[in-house]
Structure 1
Amino acid sequence: MRILVIEDDIDLCNLLEFQINTQGWFADFCHDGLEALLYIERDVYDVVLLDRMLPHKDGLTILKEMRKEKNTTPVLLVTAMNTLTNRVEGLDAGADDYLIKPFEIEELFARIRAIARRNTEIHTDNTLIFSDLTIDRDLMKLICGKEECILSKRELDLLVFLIRNKDRILSRDTILNRVWGVDSFVSDGNLDNFIFFLRKRIKSVHSHVTIKTVRSVGYHLVE
């Protein structure tokens, strides 16, 4: 699991980094509201832990901007602002859960697992649909109307990732890290090859969907 922790308390971040590592999860940390938006735009996370009181831009504003940009990443607000009004504001702004400081680490992890699981359940169906495309994940088929073709495992993973992030322009590093893995040694040229072949698969079933290259940034799936 990949987590973004947006928290200006450095001591708390150091504690969370150690504890998160014990779970086998990976985390990025930032301590500034403006910096947080750069992380959110640059990468894709399974869960965001978000403090409300941050320098330069507060957590509630960050959350509202995420939802305005159709970023559906699960967000757990972790804050000392504990009134009923605070909690209602956070949930109404688009938070998936609200945890009051101080907290027990076991409860934090339980809440992370819960909201990550809810997000995953949206995609547990083995059939994924985008525009005129249907992906049968069991049979590894790409279907458009009466046309179909077989995808390789990597092509399937790449297309599913693009579809799940269809509202975002994905950087090359983000795609490589999330589809191949952070520790894999994959070149940019290898990604280009897979994009090339995936475009051919999509074209072969006469779909209106295309993978658009965004110069110097990455890729974007469009109708």
Structure 2
Amino acid sequence: MKTRKGAAMRILMVEDDKKLCEAVCYRLEQEGYTVDVCNDGDDGLRWIRQQAHDLILLDRMLPTLSGTTVLERMRSDGITTPVLVVTALDTVHDRVSGLDAGADDYLTKPFAMEELLARIRAMSRRPHQWENLARIRWGDVTLDLNERFLTGAGGVCTLSRREAGLLESFLRNAGQTLPRAVLLARVWGPDAAVEEGNLDNYVYFLRRRLQSVGSRMQIKNVRGVGYLLEGPHV
């Protein structure tokens, strides 16, 4: 199941049982999700801090850092990405402590794959998590993520998949400086081998796209940090 055409929900699975990871990833990818996997708490927290994912599946019993510690640290960092804890710890105390640490939902092992999928679908329907997924209106443009159309007062143009993903990040965070590392992680993936010059090239492409549809918004370079989208509403 995709949240929108052309941009599958990206899920991070933090789990040390590699066979379980393989089984879950295979099924999730069949359903149209994009899945990244890491097998210990330190690595998981590093990926989470890149804020490249729409949802996190988190085990509690992990090497290096426990899932509870990962949760507490990401929430203290102000990261609001939804977390579904998936664990063998199944007492009432375990569930309460997991939810109090910052989890949005809690699923105990062993679990049926259909229940996992249903919980993911339920979390994706929560309006405060993934609202207005298919169409974003901001400033003087509208981005249609289904068709990858950018519309402004001066016309319409079609974007590539990466252009649409990059512009989506800018529009959803308009007026905020986005670090280069965050943009690379969101558009190319957390561990993608990509040169930073690729980001600069795509920013150049987007600037031309915005001009072509008559937009007055600007993507500004913040030296040493990243990029910032400015426009009529900033």
- Is 2:78 the counterpart of 1:67? no
> How much has 1:92 moved relative to structure 2?
2.5
> How much has 1:17 moved relative to structure 2?
2.2
The equivalent of 1:122 in structure 2 is 131
CA distance in 1, matches of 2:224, 2:156: 24
In the alignment of these two chains, the number of paired residues is 202
CA distance in 1, matches of 2:205, 2:22: 38
- Is 2:34 the counterpart of 1:26? yes
> How much has 1:199 moved relative to structure 2?
8.8
Question: Pairwise CA RMSD of aligned residues?
Answer: 3.6
For 1:122, the aligned partner's letter is E
Q: TM-score, normalised by structure 2?
A: 0.67
For 1:194, the aligned partner's letter is F
The secondary structure found in structure 2 opposite 1:140 is strand
User: Could you tell which deviates more after superposition, 100-109 or 116-125?
Assistant: 116-125
- Is 2:52 the counterpart of 1:44? yes
CA distance in 2, matches of 1:167, 1:189: 15
Structure 2 unmatched ranges of 5 or more:
1-8, 145-149, 190-196
> Against the structure 1 CA distance between its residues 206 and 31, is the aligned structure 2 distance closer, same or farther, given a 3 Å change threshold?
closer
> How much has 1:120 moved relative to structure 2?
5.3
> Against the structure 1 CA distance between its residues 150 and 64, is the aligned structure 2 distance closer, same or farther, given a 3 Å change threshold?
farther
> How much has 1:99 moved relative to structure 2?
0.5
The equivalent of 2:107 in structure 1 is 99
CA distance in 2, matches of 1:127, 1:24: 22
CA distance in 1, matches of 2:140, 2:72: 32
Q: Is the 8 A contact 2:170 2:229 kept in 1?
A: yes
Higher relative contact order (CA 8 A, sep 6+): 2
For 2:15, the aligned partner's letter is E
Work out the percentage of aligned pairs sharing the same amino acid.
Answer: 38
For 1:212, the aligned partner's letter is V
- Give 1:212's match in structure 2, choosing from 222, 225, 231: 222
CA distance in 2, matches of 1:69, 1:168: 16
CA distance in 2, matches of 1:85, 1:102: 18
Structure 1 unmatched ranges of 5 or more:
142-147, 179-185
Q: Is the 8 A contact 1:67 1:94 kept in 2?
A: yes
Which structure 2 residues correspond to residues 39-188 of structure 1 after superposition, within 5 A?
39-42=47-50, 44-118=52-126, 121-123=130-132, 133=139, 136-137=142-143, 140-141=151-152, 152=157, 154=159, 158-164=166-172, 166=176, 169-171=179-181, 172-177=183-188, 187-188=198-199
Identify, as 1 or 2, the structure richer in helix.
1
Q: Deviations over 1:79-130 (max 9, x none)?
A: 112222222222233222110111001100111122123255533596656x
> Against the structure 1 CA distance between its residues 162 and 72, is the aligned structure 2 distance closer, same or farther, given a 3 Å change threshold?
farther
CA distance in 1, matches of 2:131, 2:140: 16
Q: TM-score, normalised by structure 1?
A: 0.70
User: Could you tell which deviates more after superposition, 115-124 or 88-97?
Assistant: 115-124
CA distance in 2, matches of 1:93, 1:150: 48
